[in-house]
Every structure is written in structure tokens, then in C-alpha cells.
Chains A and B, each alone.
Chain A
């Protein structure tokens, strides 16, 4: 059985240095450890993940309960009170509880949607790069078309046709976000397929699929990890955009994008908490994933070391 082949050229240069006995994983971890971006990102993302996981324990109320004492007699939302620490919305629902449950939705959608996009992108990019020929032409031209088409418009059309639901939104996000990963994968596979150790693998009679899975894909882990992390941030914003345009997950499910959508009003400053907190949650999550992605890219890119 042929083991994991040596790393591609750029990454192998340093492996020969006398003063660096650390393994690849060790070097990556050392780089991450020293990078403040990683720690900021880890704290932010960790916080959001914890909030999402522990939402039922942390949330003071059910996120969909409309409290009679949650609005004034004139139907105005409440600011901070002992019962509602971050205030309430126009329907008398507790904002903190909705934020915490909203984290669940945002993370679910972004992880699954982005996961689908990465899976699609890798599958199509690797297929195009490995088999070339008509598959390459078809897939890469389709990628060009997708890249040229405004993704939000396409997503709006798809959600509009099918009607908004959690599954549809995840599928739509996957369908409009795979192109970048596809291109990166395609480029990498094109380069890798010409290597000697791939020739050697072919010479031993191993099938194409096995070579792709066992010998090429492991080398794509680094760029895919970076794209996936940065992609999550984009997906969180994308879900927010869909919800903002009224095509997110249907009400009353708490979603940060919908909360921002509902609060976006010329008089938003009167009830600033409705806009401020979900926007802040979205901002910090996106920042967190971006910091993580940046740190990961720096750690995995030998030129940055």
C-alpha cells in the first residue's frame, strides 16, 4: 500500500531545513498559537458555538413567546429590564433568547450550507481537474456562468420558487457558493496530477477514484480548510441577506438576519437594541470566522512563515 506521498513543492522546501524538526501539523499549530488573529477568532467563534449549543440553558425565555408585559400599552418594545436583559421586540419576545437561538440557526445554516458548497466544489473541481476532457469543459464553463451570475439574485429566484424553508436555504446557499472552492480544487488537482508520485500510483494499477481520494484530496486539505472557514463567514452574511430580503427561514424562527430585517427602519434609533444586538452578533461571528480563516491561511501558507 502506498502511503501519503510527500507534500507539494512549496510545502516540502522547508521540510529539509535542519533547524525545523517539527511535523507539518506541529508547525501549523505553532504558527496558529503565535497568531493573535487565531485567538481572537477562536474566542469569538467559540463564544457563538457555545451560545448556540447552550441556548436552551442560557436563554431566559422561550424565543417565540409573546409576553403581554413585553410591549407597552401602545405596542412599543421594551429596552433593558430585569426580566428582559436585552429588551424585547415589537411582538413582546425576549431579544436575548432570540439572539441565542438565532446563533443556532445561523451556525446550522452556515455550516451545512457551506459544507454542501465545499462538497460540491471539491467534487466538481476534482472531477474537472482529474478527468479533463468534456467533463473539464462542461464543469468549468458552468463555473464561469455561475461566477458571472449575481448569486444573491439566483438565490432569491430559487427561494422564491420553492418558498423559504431551512432545507431550501441550505441547499440554495450550497448551490450558489461552490464556485470558488471548485476553481481552487481544479487548479490544485491540475498541478498535482502531473507529479511523479501520481504517475507511480498509476503505474501500480490503482484506479482513478482511489488516487483522487487517497493521494490527491489529502493535499487539498489546507486550501479547502481556509476557503471553508472564510466561506462560513460569507454564508452567515448571505443567510442574513436572504432573511433581510424577507426570504429567510419562515417566522417565528429566530434568525439574526430576520431580526435585522424587522428592525431596519428609519426610526431604528428609537428602539436601537432591536438592530444593535443582532447586528453585533452577526458582525462578531463574521469577524471571528474571518480571523480564524486568516490565521489558518497564514499558518498553512509557507510563504507567510
Chain B
């Protein structure tokens, strides 16, 4: 009996395999064409929220960016051009006074909230929205956040001693001034974040906890329906203040669609815009196919790096060891393992960042020199064993294996500790928890300060290497306040050189993502800050 069952099971498996090969997916047959005037997009998971005071992930920001506006934004363009600050709800860029500490904005007079609110946006709305995002009662990520802490009076506001933030001053109905404790040029970038998006106070108050499902803003689209986990429909905001936008009147966003299925659907013209980036093997498969022209490369503004914990042995006080690690990693091999979807990095500032030195080098791959540094550090080959923590996914698994092999080559044994991202974030920024980490930092906004202040200063909360150098802190404070852009960028490049001299990191690479779009999307591009700009895309036919 059991023998017969085994044979039957084998035969069934073979039959299934044969059927799979002989009859590939024909799901596209008979499916109606996509509706005209509607951009159809898909994501693997739902947006966590559309409340701009709460959302703090790229997916939520994609939706929020279509519905809300901020005083300033970025040029609608790909690449470095897309990192240029431009006025959005403001009529012009702010007047900066009082030694770079006061920013005075004049608001546009033609901005109205979407229906059913319909009224004009005023300076009081800006004040309300930012205070709401920062308030403890909102329970959002901006409570006590470093982004807005340069604003005068935030400490008193957060401690409950003040009802309003003293640094936000409504001058008149259409003018508002932000006053900082010290000059900080990155504050304009902070004002582009969705946390500073303007929301209608009466609607927030009326809807209470249901506000996030019925948000109303000033952006090109307004939310029509949102079936959580299934679908979201955005429709044109008739009150939108920019003439001619959005180009297409409707966007349907489907959720719960596997990234590979997104590609298959887009290939069959059942989907316009896969929302998840193309996976490594899909990229390789698409490059071989006739769809390769629909692949769109996006240079990220971020950095993958190995953090060596400078508060923990063996890296504490051992520069030679940190230098050895920097010289031991063959980044050329990493580039190939990542299928070329990377820009190799030797410093802390991504080459895609405004002001970065794109040709920065410090340490070169040299296993012999690395072995010499290891000996100088006091370790014989085979004497040092360390765990390396990293977030497991196909690309990082390969990179971690390669790093392990490279370090084994100089005589350092690495045991790999692949973990989930939640576990990693719980451990990496906690003192004494991870001695060696393969980790990533991505921009909050495209300014070099975002790659120094929050991650490589003594008080930084995301400092995986627990690096602290008073000179770097002093220069970072100086650069933050410098209104001379060229001099400011030069200071950040100087900081980069000092940090690499101390070698708390092994900088590895900056990602190149690939997005895929359906054949009827004509002017597709991906913005360096907001991945998708549905209001800018046009459909054929």
C-alpha cells in the first residue's frame, strides 16, 4: 500500500511539474484592458496610514505626498535636480533673517482644501498642523524629534509648559515665521517632510480617530475610498492650485500584490505601476526580455555600511583593527553579487547626495595591508572571532557571506547573525548589543546633515558605531548654520575625511533600485525623495 502511495505521489509531482512547464501562466487571457484616465498601481502591503503626523515610511509618504502639501518641496524631476528646494504652499522661498535664525514665509492666496472643506489655507493652519504633528497627544514619531528641536520653544511645548511652540509665529493670515534657537539650514528640508503638511483643523477635530481614513489635504488628489489591505482610490482634487495637474484624474492602488506578480501584471498590461522595487532575479530576467526598456533605474540616497561598535571590544580604542576591516572588503565582488545594482562607496556621504565628493576614496582593498593592520592591532590570524548582525534578505545574505569570506581571508572569523528588521533596530542602536553590524541608513531629506547629525555625532540616536568625535560635532554644528552652500558642503566633505580617518564604518555601497512601469505610462520617472509622483504621469491612449 505504502509503496503504491509513494509511486502515486511521485507520479503526481512529475505530472504537476510537467503541467507547469507545458502550460505557463495564462492568467492574462480574457482580462479586460485597464480603464483610460486611471493609473493602476500595486503594492505588496497596505499603507500604514495617511495621517501625515503619523506616517514615517516611504509607502505611507507616497500616498500622503499626493494628498497633502507643505510650505516648501522639491522640484518634480529625477536625480539631483529633484533635490532642489522650491516653494510649494509658500508663494516664494522664505526670507531668512536674524543671522539665519528666522524664516519668514508668505503663503499663496489661492490654496484651498479639497472638498468638502473648500476653504482657503492660512498661516494658522500651518501652525496648527506642525504643532499637531509634534504634540504628545498625537502619538506620532515627531514628539521630541530632533528634526524640529531647533525650533524655539519646542522643549517647553513637549514638556507641557507651553500650549504653543514659541518659534512658530503667525504674522498675519498669509504670513508665518519660524524662529530657531540657532541657525540650521537643514530646517528647510525638515519643512518638506509630510509631518509639516497642512491639514484642516475642523476636519481633524470632527473625524477624531477616523481622520486617517478620510484625510483631506490640498494636494493634486483626494482620497475617495480606502479598503484596508485591498484597494485605495484617489481622485482629482478640483481645488488643486496647480493648473494642469494631476494629468490623469484617477489612481487606483491595489494592496497585497506580490512584487513578482506586479511585474507579470505590468508585462501583460494589467497594471501601470508596480509599487515595489524590482527584485534581483526579476531584474536579471527583465534585462533578458523585451520589457527591458520598461525598467527604470533609481539611484538611492543612502548607504550600506559595516558599523564597528567603538564602545565595545575589540574595536574600542583599536584604530588598526578598524582600518584592517576597511582594507579587507572586496567591494568589487560585492558589486557583482548585487548584479551591478549599486554604487560603491568609500565615504559616508552617498555620491547621489548634493555636495558629496563622488570620487571620495580613503581605504583601498588590500588584503596584505589588512593582515598587517590586524597584526598591528594585536591579533594573529584565526585569533579573532566576531558575530555580525544583519537584516536577512537575498541581497544582504549574499553581501554578508562575501564579507565573511573576505574577513576570513585576513584571519578574522565572522559568525553571521541574520535577523528580522525589528530585531535589528532593537539591538543596533542599543549600547553593548551589537559589536559588528551590516546596516543601512537612508535619507530623510537630501542634505548632507542627515548623514552626520543623526548617525555619527556624539548625541546621535541612530549611531550604530557609537562613534563620538568632538571635532566632528563642532564642525557639524558649524555646517548646519552656514548659509554659504559651497562652504557648507566643503565642511561636510572635511567631516567625511575625519570620520573615515577614525574608521568607525566600512562604507560599502549605495543602492540602485529598479522600478518597472507598464507600457502605457509615458513620462515615467522616479523622484529621489518621493518615489512616485502619480500626478505627473501620463497614460497613452
Q: Is the CB of A74 within 8 A of B285?
A: no
Residues on B with C-beta less than 8 A from A37 are: 3
Given contacts A37-B3, A246-B418, A262-B394, are A252 and B336 in contact (CB under 8 A)?
no
- Does A290 touch B at the CB level, under 8 Å? yes
A66 to B405, CA, bound (A): 8
Bound: A32/B299 CA distance, A: 65
Interface residues of A in 226-271 (CB under 8 A from B): 246, 250-252, 262, 265-267, 270-271
Within the complex, what minimum Cβ distance (angstroms) separates A263 from chain B? 10
- Given A66, A251, A252, A294, which contacts B333 in the complex, CB threshold below 8 Å? A66
Q: Mark B74-93, 1 if CB is under 8 A from A, else 0.
A: 00000000000000000000
Measured as residues with beta carbon below 8 angstroms from the partner, the interface class of chain A is: 20 to 34
Q: Which of B282, B288, B339, B415 contacts A266 (CB 8 A)?
A: B282
What 0/1 pattern do residues 48 to 86 of A give for CB contact below 8 A with B? 000000000000000011101001011110000000000
Would you call B398 an interface residue if the criterion is a C-beta within 8 Å of the partner chain's C-beta atoms?
Answer: yes
Flag if B282 contacts A250 (CB, 8 Å). Answer: no
Asked whether A136 is an interface residue with its Cβ less than 8 Å from the other chain, the reply is: no
Indicate which residue in A246, A265, A287 contacts B392 across the interface (CB closer than 8 Å).
Answer: A246
The answer to whether A251 touches B3 (Cβ under 8 A) is no
Instruction: Give A93's nearest chain B residue, CB to CB.
Output: B401
Main secondary structure of the interface of B (DSSP, over half): helix
| Interface size class of chain B, counting residues whose CB lies under 8 Å from the partner chain | 20 to 34
A5 close to chain B: CB less than 8 A: no
Whether A39 sits at the interface, judged by CB under 8 Å, is: no
Q: Is there an interface contact between B415 and A267, defined as CB atoms closer than 8 Å?
A: no
Residues of A within 8 A of B287 (CB): 74
Residue contact B415 to A76, C-beta cutoff 8 Å: no
- Flag whether A163 is at the interface (Cβ < 8 A): yes
CB pair A266 B281 closer than 8 Å? yes
A42 to B338, CA, bound (A): 43
Task: Tell me the chain A residues, 274-305 only, with Cβ under 8 Å from chain B.
Answer: 287, 290-291, 294
Q: Is the CB of A251 within 8 A of B284?
A: no
Complex CA gap A73/B339 in Å reads 8
CB of A91 within 8 A of CB of B401, answer yes
A197 neighbours in B (Cβ, 8 Å)? none
Q: Are A251 and B281 in contact (CB under 8 A)?
A: no
Q: Does B397 contact A (CB under 8 A)?
A: yes
Q: Knowing A64-B405, A91-B402 touch, does A251 contact B397 (C-beta < 8 A)?
A: yes
**Contact partners of B2 in chain A: CB under 8 A:** 290, 294
CB distance from B505 to the nearest CB of A (A): 23
A91, B337: Cα distance in complex, Å:
6
Q: A66-B401, A287-B10 are in contact. List 16 more A-B contacts (CB 8 A).
A: A37-B3, A73-B340, A75-B338, A90-B394, A163-B417, A246-B392, A246-B418, A250-B415, A251-B416, A251-B418, A252-B416, A267-B281, A267-B284, A270-B288, A271-B281, A287-B6
